[in-house]
Structure 1
């Protein structure tokens, strides 16, 4: 696309160019999540309302940042605007890593209030550092590494559930594992530039690595949603064992 004003960037939604697929592979899910998720979350059955709120915001954040970045990346404001949009895109990823994990941490340590509070604070501090590293990273590989500690911290809670120390719905853990598997696969495909590295030019408009990553990210968010819903409904009928 040529260098464009805000209006011209918006008009680019209606003609074919190399960013169109990137916009729509996250734009369509963004609209669907914005409309359908509030209807799908059983608010009246959730005993800890803020968990539902942060989960909803987590599901929206990566698509919102991505759409703004890909839609306005050729804005006439030039490099300063581009780098601001890139940071918004990265912050969207950081937000789903941060906000998306809070219900997982909370419910895993549901029966240990003090440890739960400390763990939530530690994860928030860790995520703040990850956000700084991600927005200042100079390559996609370093940007992906910024999220490694978050992923390891999150995986430790999956282990707690797996060995029976942590609490949570019996069905949610497999959703969370699938969530992370899809996210990692999407990141690897994006970094390795498969399939366009084998047929340069063929995938400029459709089915390139970035679009494949977008689709896998949406799938990852769906698994997060299903897992968190299972957990939020499960705690209504769960009583911590007495000492």
Structure 2
């Protein structure tokens, strides 16, 4: 293999890249930007992580006009919040995993990690605004705005306190199944690969539910539900009155 494809073992990596001792091989050496980009075209222990979050970026770019039924929703703001929340975790994760072995040292690595965490935060805060809005849609206007604003404040506080990093640390600390089979799942099916696939599934589920929420609010939401209930009640009245007259 050429120099760009030389893979290292865990013991060969600098301290800031030795965070999972159960992944023993398949590490890319420290490289420049070109070397990191070239690693898209050969197999290493970050390939699955890069591809699982790179593919959604391409999908969103190609199909974003059709991701939301723009003619059927009435809130472009919430629709763009959803698209932002659906796209940012992939961008941050893709850049982090692709360039994590940059030869510019530990400081750059942690900046990339922060970018990854920022993408997750945007998904869980801004991306959740359609669900929050739908959940409070039937409440009085003032109460609804207070709840949404309170949620936004908590989201910003969460970013400041770096709670997302703590959650990611807990998930990574499990290190299963590589803890059970050291060296056997270096290239695929290790804990981080599995987490990426689960995140992909979760964001797809969020996408489907957000579209349902946006369309439900556009069609009248609780007002339509109230009208349907009134119609149902009215249709039941004659039968009730007839029963009372027979009695």
Paired residue for 1:57?
84
Cα distance in 2, alignment partners of residues 144 and 214 from structure 1 = 12
SS of residue matched to 1:101:
helix
Is it true that 1:223 corresponds to 2:205 in the alignment?
yes
Paired residue for 1:124?
152
- The structure 1 residue matched to 2:192, chosen from 185, 210, 216, is 210
- Number of corresponding residues: 196
SS of residue matched to 1:47:
coil
Paired residue for 1:163?
none
Q: Deviations over 1:189-232 (max 9, x none)?
A: x4311110100011111111101100110100111011011111
User: What is the Cα deviation at residue 76 of structure 1?
Assistant: 1.5
User: What is the Cα deviation at residue 144 of structure 1?
Assistant: 4.5
After superposition, where does 1:42-81 map in structure 2 within 5 Å? 42-81=69-108
Provide structure 2 residue ranges, at least 5 long, that are not aligned to the other structure.
1-27, 228-247
TM-score calculated relative to the size of structure 1 = 0.75
Is it true that 1:100 corresponds to 2:100 in the alignment?
no
After superposition, where does 1:139-154 map in structure 2 within 5 Å? 142-144=166-168
Contact 1:18 1:205 in 2 (8 A): yes
TM-score calculated relative to the size of structure 2 = 0.74
Q: Deviations over 1:6-26 (max 9, x none)?
A: 111101101111111110111
Q: Which runs of 4+ in 1 moved over 6 A?
A: none
Is it true that 1:19 corresponds to 2:46 in the alignment?
yes
Q: Which one has the largest radius of gyration?
A: 2
Cα distance in 1, alignment partners of residues 126 and 51 from structure 2 = 24
Provide structure 1 residue ranges, at least 5 long, that are not aligned to the other structure.
146-186
Cα distance in 2, alignment partners of residues 15 and 203 from structure 1 = 17
Cα distance in 2, alignment partners of residues 215 and 143 from structure 1 = 17
